[in-house]
Amino acid sequence: MAEKLALVGIGKIARDQHIPAITANPDWSLEAAVSRNSAVEGVEHFESMDALLETRPDITTVSLAIPPQPRFAYAAAALKAGRNVMLEKPPGQSLAECYALEALAKENGVTIFATWHSRHADCVPDLKAWLAERPLKKLEITWKEDVRRWHPGQEWIWEPGGMGVFDPGINALSILTEILPYPVHLSGATLEVPENRDTPIAARLDFVDPSGARMTADFDWRQEGPQTWNIEIETDRGSASLSLGGERLEIDGKLVKQGANHEYANLYARMAALVKAGESDMDLSPMIHVCDAFSLGKRVVTAPFHY
């Protein structure tokens, strides 16, 4: 029998990814939507989380597709009401919030899942398996996209807690922390912040690899034309190139796998498995790198940004 689910936040990502993934998965039944501005045709609508929780005790799971700044209050209310919670990335605006939510889920005996959709791209498991057998020499992340295309008019990303270019950059970091056979940490960062904004529009990161490999990441939100989501790897036994955000994998210059976009379908399949098993998944390693970048990063003021 399908689990009854409510989707909170009916914006671009909800319509583009969440709703199609939910409706295509027989483990889920989309029973309600919570939004002050938008509704889903054929689905019961609520303007507040409190109204949803009070009116629909039969809904067991809440998926939050809202900005990180208000997410803690919504997630905490759902967990305290005994509902399973699925968190869009990043799982919160601070690590402390995320740890508090993890504790609340445990206290109330429910599932919580910090989702990292890019980890579920088709070629990520293949690259992880390939890299596990080869000493790393060099890894370069290039993650550049057009904020006007993907976040049109979304002012929350420029406000404290919105993370700026790390909103997409954390996708690359989620892949990095998945494919590496050991943890790494940040040694330095440069953050380019428009003079009229509070969060960066570009960032350059340097990592310390315990084996001595050179490891960097370059994020930019000013990319025009084709978008770039690449990870280039050199080892002592060949090279690999992961592109299209994880959909395409080349080894030694030859295409070995061309996938498709199944990320959100895989997320909801994972959430269903966690709920059935009574388990949680709150891996915060990608977010630790973001927090370290803000802590260690040198801030460089750049030209104002306007939509």
Q: Which residues are catalytic, by number?
A: 89
Task: Report d(CA 64, CA 151) in Å as an integer.
Answer: 18
Going from the C-alpha of 287 to that of each of 120, 167, 294, the distances in angstroms are: 17, 10, 11
Going from the C-alpha of 183 to that of each of 141, 232, 289, the distances in angstroms are: 16, 18, 11
163 dihedral zone (left: phi>0; alpha: psi -120 to 50; beta): left
**How far is C-alpha 106 from the chain's CA centre?**
22
Q: 159: buried, middle or exposed (CB in 10 Å: 19+, 13-18, 0-12)?
A: middle
**In the numeric block, which tokens belong to residue 133?**
């057998």
**In the numeric block, which tokens belong to residue 175?**
């892949």
Task: Report d(CA 87, CA 174) in Å as an integer.
Answer: 14
DSSP bridge partners of 136: 235
Instruction: For residue 138, count other CB atoms closer than 10 A to its CB.
Output: 14
**In the numeric block, which tokens belong to residue 60?**
């067991």
Task: Report d(CA 19, CA 17) in Å as an integer.
Answer: 6
Q: What's the DSSP call for residue 281?
A: B
